[in-house]
Amino acid sequence: IVAAFFFVVLLGGTLAYAQLTPTFYDQTCPNVSTIIRDVITETLVSDPRIGASLIRLHFHDCFVNGCDGSLLLDNSDTIVSEKEAGGNNNSARGFEVVDRMKALLESACPATVSCADILTIAAEESVVLAGGPNWTVPLGRRDSTTASRDAANAFLLPPTLTLDQLREGFTNVSLNNNSDLVALSGAHTFGRAKCSTFDFRLYDFNSTGAPDPSLDPTLLAALQELCPQGGNGSVLTNLDLTTPDAFDSNYYSNLQGNQGLLQTDQVLFSTPGADDIIALVNAFSANQTAFFESFAESMIRMGNLSPLTGTEGEIRLNCSVVNANLAGPDSMLVSSI
């Protein structure tokens, strides 16, 4: 039964991204990954958060109508930007770094590399540069000419969800609500979060007038000092207490010690009866190689949700603007790229 289940999942994934291939840019832009990696490496010197921020952009792009670069579009007469959706507004970051990657790629390989593929490659390179696994990235996505703030508000998962709600959110975008959920949550092994994303756990959890009982008391005291009630919700703290800038399995060990920062982290280990989820947390904590392998597989699945390929969409020349708006309404040549 288990073997049959994984065959169905794998078959479904194959059908979903049959037109993508890791060799897509081998002839047209062979240095694409090197260019993207160099930008990330340079940025990390002054911004150690950028790797986590870039992988988050990829997540938030793929969870909204597939991996099509729609998150990167600014407001215009025809676009209602996803950047201002609840899960992105004053939260998603790294857009200027993506713009720098795109400018360099346009110089090296004009009108060739999509913004959706830039996000996909940047996510993998960010993980590798932080000490995590590498994986072969299927490429050939094209860019959407539309965005949907309504879909972003509907499908991006806030940090206040229960485990059942998280599982439903993964099911809604055709990801596995067990292995993909636990593995992809491991992306919180690096990066930062604002007080506003977890301070409800510190004082009035679920309107009880008390803190979240699943939060380690020592961590609770430290977080209450950092995030006083009614204080500045923009203050940042590490998602992973032990190795905040490294991609490793310590995220899962933190959950075992009730030190998951976000509710959506800790519920993976502290939800009564969730034995299958807890077993995965324990397995990934004990075996980093198993986590790395599962994470890579899940990133490939997520990165291939509903891609635009062939003649669908376009190759944007500027990631924040559709080509028709960039070149003007009379430019049929550019808008058809």
Q: Which domains does the chain have, with CATH numbers?
A: 31-191+239-304 (1.10.420.10)
55 neighbors 187 (Cβ within 8 angstroms): yes
What is the pLDDT at residue 4? 38
The pTM of the full predicted model, rounded to 2 decimals, is: 0.91
169 membership: H or E segment, kind and range: helix 163-172
The Cβ-side half-sphere exposure at 60, using a 13 Å CA radius, reads 31
Dump pLDDT digits (tens) for 219-239.
999 999 999 999 999 999 999
What is the pLDDT at residue 327? 59
Is 243 assigned to a binding site?
A: yes
* Helical packing angle, 263-270 and 275-286, nearest 10°: 100
Is 240 assigned to a binding site?
A: yes
Is 245 assigned to a binding site?
A: no
Low-confidence residues in the chain, pLDDT < 70: 1-18, 327-337
119 neighbors 69 (Cβ within 8 angstroms): yes
Please compute Rg for the chain using Cα positions: 20
SS3 119: helix
What is the pLDDT at residue 143? 98
| Inter-CA distances, 46 with 67, 203, 233, Å | 28, 34, 23
153 membership: H or E segment, kind and range: helix 149-155
Residue 60 bears catalytic tag: yes
Catalytic residue among 56, 60, 141, 316: 60
Which residues have a Cβ under 8 Å from the Cβ of 236 and sit 6 or more positions away? 192, 193, 194, 195
Is 61 assigned to a binding site?
A: yes
SS3 308: strand
